[in-house]
Amino acid sequence: MLDGAVAWMNGRGNTQQWGTTPYSRKPGGVERIQRYTTECAPYMAELDGVPVGTLVLGDGPSPQVPIPTAEEPERYVRLLVSDRRHAGLGIGAALLAHAAEETRRAGVPLLRVDCWAGGGGELVAFYERNGFAPTTRFLAGEWPGQVLARRIG
């Protein structure tokens, strides 16, 4: 799915968000996903038994990103990606709703995510439509990022 997302973004002219190299061929890319599936909580969305999206939920931001942990218990969306062949079906929104429910079930008051803040801000707007509010902007090298938070009650 990640390789497909890179190809889809590149096809739309977006080479800045995830670059042009398929994720599976990036140095450390496969290892990062393996770490996510063993150290965090991965969730898979399926359509007729076929995986169409995934979300990885952790207890804080990735150590590879310059984002401090919250000063309270939190859950953090480390990865959200959907199969672009099924775009527009609400897969990402459904996975975020599941992350909010898992966060609520754990009695944790805060769900956060970070995303690419470049381009026209479409990705930030997606998270806002799903109940998140922008908090902190950051740079990872020259990559512009935005942290967003959602209170869980």
59-85 b/e (C-beta count within 10 Å ≥ 16 → b): ebbbeeeebeebeeebbbbbbbbbbbe
Per-residue model confidence (pLDDT) at position 151 = 98
Spatial CA neighbour of 33 closest among 105, 87, 81: 81
With a threshold of 0.85, does the pTM exceed it? yes
Per-residue model confidence (pLDDT) at position 153 = 79
Place of tokens 């008051």: 109
Parts of the chain with a pLDDT under 50: none
Q: Which amino acid is at 71?
A: E
Per-residue model confidence (pLDDT) at position 18 = 84
Per-residue model confidence (pLDDT) at position 122 = 93
